[in-house]
Amino acid sequence: MSLATVSETRCFGGRQVTFKHDSRSTGTAMRVAVFLPPQAERGPVPAFWFLAGLTCTEDNFAQKAGAQRVAADLGLALIAPDTSPRGDGVPDDEAYDFGVGAGFYLDATEAPWSANFRMRAYIEDELPALLAAELPLDMDRQGLSGHSMGGHGALTIGLRNPGRFRAVSAFAPIASPMNCPWGEKALPRYLGPDRAAWRAYDACALIADGARLPEILVEQGTADPFLAQQLKPELLEDACREAGIGLTLNRRDGYDHSYFFIASFIADHLRWHSARLGL
Contacting a second copy within 192-251 (CB under 8 A)? 221, 223
Q: Does 5 bind a second copy (CB under 8 A)?
A: no
Contact residue for a second copy among 19, 49, 198, 255 (CB under 8 A): 255
- Nearer to a second copy (CB atom), residue 201 or residue 259: 259
Instruction: Answer for the pair 119, 106: CB distance below 8 angstroms, yes or no.
Output: yes
C-alpha–C-alpha distance, residues 160 and 116, integer Å: 22
Q: Does 9 bind a second copy (CB under 8 A)?
A: yes
Contact residue for a second copy among 38, 66, 188, 192 (CB under 8 A): 66
- Nearer to a second copy (CB atom), residue 8 or residue 134: 8
Q: Does 12 bind a second copy (CB under 8 A)?
A: yes
Minimum gap (Å) between residue 210 Cβ and a second copy: 38
Contact residue for a second copy among 27, 38, 55, 64 (CB under 8 A): 64
C-alpha–C-alpha distance, residues 16 and 107, integer Å: 29
- Nearer to a second copy (CB atom), residue 6 or residue 263: 263
Q: How far is CA 4 from each of CA 8, 60, 138, rounded to the nearest angstrom?
A: 11, 20, 21
C-alpha–C-alpha distance, residues 168 and 204, integer Å: 15
Active site residues: 148, 224, 257
Which contacts qualify for 35-39: CB closer than 8 Å, 24 or more apart?
A: 35/11, 35/62, 35/67, 35/68, 35/71, 35/77, 35/78, 36/77, 36/135, 36/136, 37/12, 37/13, 37/71, 37/72, 37/74, 37/75, 37/76, 37/77, 38/12, 38/13, 38/14, 38/72, 38/75, 39/75
- Nearer to a second copy (CB atom), residue 76 or residue 130: 76
Minimum gap (Å) between residue 119 Cβ and a second copy: 25
Minimum gap (Å) between residue 56 Cβ and a second copy: 13
Positions of E strands within the chain: 4-11, 14-22, 29-36, 45-51, 77-81, 137-146, 165-171, 215-221, 246-252
Q: Does 261 bind a second copy (CB under 8 A)?
A: yes
Stretch that binds a second copy, among 65-73, 121-129, 160-168, 177-185 (CB under 8 A): 65-73
Tell me which amino acid residue 111 is.
A
Q: Does 13 bind a second copy (CB under 8 A)?
A: yes
Contact residue for a second copy among 95, 129, 263, 275 (CB under 8 A): 263
- Nearer to a second copy (CB atom), residue 20 or residue 164: 20
Q: What is the DSSP letter of 107?
A: B
Q: Provide the binding-site residues for a second copy, judged by CB under 8 A.
A: 9-13, 16, 63-64, 66, 68-69, 221, 223, 252-256, 258-261, 263-264, 267
